[in-house]
Amino acid sequence: MMTATPDTTDLLSMRLFFETGATRSYAFRKQQLELLRQAIVKYDVEINKALYADLKKSPEETFSTETGLILSELNNTLKKLHRWMKPQRLKNNLVNFPSSAKLYHDPLGVVLIIAPWNYPLQLLLIPLVGAIAGGNCVVLKPSELAPATAAITEKIIKDVFPEQYVKVIQGDGAAIIPGMMQQFRFDHVFYTGSIPVGKIIYQLAAKDLVPVTLELGGKSPAIVERDADIKAAARRIALGKFINAGQTCIAPDYLLVRDDIAEQFIATLKETITRFWGKNAKESSDYGKIINERNFDRLSSYLNEGKLVMGGETDRSSLFMAPAILTDVALEAPVMEEEIFGPVLPVLPFKTKEDAMAIIKKNENPLACYVFTSSAKKEKEWMESIAFGGGCINNTAWHFANHSFPFGGIGNSGIGAYHGRHSFNTFTHAKPVMKTPTWFDPDIKYPPLKGKMKWLKLFIR
């Protein structure tokens, strides 16, 4: 794939198209969203082939974690867009009586969306839905590490949208993106990926005061209390951890299990993994592969950093790594200091909540946190003790699919949020406007102010 910084003329043509006002109407935005929805359905077979080529995703997994989520986001947005676009009436205060107040949502302009390789279609197109709904022109940068998906994405976008409205940029992101951001001022940059690259994007945007949304990662814990439903916890943790071969930003990165149930829980987890993907996960049509050799080698090195109590079978030629469970892991080991992003799951027993919190604080602000307990009191204690992006009680990962939830991180795990109305808000500017009639214009607001203090205190409160 060729790598070249896009011609600035192309980006300027997008700016000119935006400034015509063509993207602003409800009818236009609705039409574009409907066209995108039709294209996702039209190219379903090619999408399935591409995601199998890049990540060995089955059609069922592709629908559950990629196309189905995109279609759901499109359906929800089409249903609610008119309401979101309508100026929102707000309350006014006494000092501004009898003015009215409204909140308008203005398009930002030309925005850049940069996607990762692990869910290469939906993490590009779900933000696109929000950007279109917001009335923007959009530059899309798919991940070059998932080339088949990048190719079908470009085919879809070219089939649906004119290039001055939505444009796909291909190539090596590390080479293309800095040059593009230095030559052209985007009105918003939306990046999903690693923390180190997110910091680079943030620095590039800062010089021109470009607002950013950063959807990053971190080490997301799953905590299993002794009163948890062990069978349900094992099923839900196994799914959240090992779907897409563990290459999920909100996957449980490591488990903290009460020491007196740890042995029982590990045994149940092992049985669950075998039930889901068989004794040889390599033969399972539901189990994916590692994205490339670089990540395969990194993940393979983790297998030697603890006691391997299950899995760990590998085949570099096919980028296969079986679901692996590690125990007796040192907190200073790389597997406990780096985001794993693969099918390796350290299990750490803990005696007290303080012990668990000390481990969590070594990697603060995870993108997700999962707590398994039947106690409302413990649930409350854990939720109030940990700062994290979003999470679940007695589940993992599925909060991502809730349109009502803002999805995003905190601190090291990201800036900003999206999904549903939150995507629309991210890709628009909330513009407050006050309208004041002229028939009421009391002198108390105007100089001279001497002697009016008691009235000012009455109205300004």
Taken in order of first residue, the domains within the chain and their CATH numbers are: 8-216+411-433 (3.40.605.10), 221-401 (3.40.309.10)
**pLDDT at 9 > cutoff 60:** yes
**pLDDT at 4 > cutoff 60:** no
Give which of 209, 255, 205, 202 is closest to 370, Cα–Cα.
255
Residues 333, 306 contacting (CB under 8 angstroms): yes
Both tokens of residue 164?
């001055």
Quote the distance between the C-alpha of residue 98 and its chain's center: 43
- pLDDT-derived band at 6 (thresholds 50, 70, 90) equals low
**What DSSP character marks residue 351?**
S
Mean pLDDT of the chain: 95
Which H or E element spans position 101?
Answer: strand 100-107
Give which of 186, 286, 305, 198 is closest to 242, Cα–Cα.
286
Quote the distance between the C-alpha of residue 89 and its chain's center: 30
d(CA 17, CA 382): 50
d(CA 58, CA 52): 6
What per-residue confidence (pLDDT) applies to 455? Answer: 87
Average pLDDT, integer, range 399-410: 94
Give which of 321, 351, 395 is closest to 256, Cα–Cα.
351
What per-residue confidence (pLDDT) applies to 5? Answer: 58
Residue 215 is a catalytic residue: yes
CA distances from 54 to 144, 147, 151, 216 (A): 11, 7, 11, 21
Average pLDDT, integer, range 404-433: 96
**pLDDT at 1 > cutoff 50:** no
d(CA 140, CA 130): 13
- In the block, tokens 């030629």 appear at 317
Q: What is the DSSP string of 356-388?
A: HHHHHGGG-S-SEEEEE-S-HHHHHHHHHH---
pLDDT in tens, 102-139: 999 999 999 999 999 999 999 999 999 999 999 999 99
Both tokens of residue 449?
């102010």
Residues 197, 187 contacting (CB under 8 angstroms): no
Percent of the chain with pLDDT over 90: 93
d(CA 259, CA 34): 52
- pLDDT-derived band at 3 (thresholds 50, 70, 90) equals very low
Please tell me whether the peptide bond between 98 and the residue prior to it is cis, using omega within 30 degrees of 0.
Answer: yes
- In the block, tokens 């951890």 appear at 241
Q: Is the dihedral of CA 247, 249, 250, 253 positive or negative?
A: positive
Phi, psi of 80 (to 5 degrees): -110, -5
Give the pairing type, strands 307-310 and 324-327: antiparallel
Q: What share of the chain is helix, strand, coil (3-state, %, to 5)?
A: 45, 20, 35
What per-residue confidence (pLDDT) applies to 8? Answer: 83
pLDDT in tens, 163-220: 999 999 999 999 999 999 999 999 999 999 999 999 999 999 999 999 999 999 999 9
The total number of residues shown for the chain amounts to 461
pLDDT in tens, 313-369: 999 999 999 999 999 999 999 999 999 999 999 999 999 999 999 999 999 999 999
pLDDT in tens, 264-306: 999 999 999 999 999 999 999 999 999 999 999 999 999 999 9
Both tokens of residue 19?
């400034």
**pLDDT at 74 > cutoff 80:** yes
Identified catalytic residue from 215, 225, 305, 339: 215
Claim: this prediction has a pTM higher than 0.85: yes
Identified catalytic residue from 249, 305, 369, 392: 249
Identity of residue 375: S
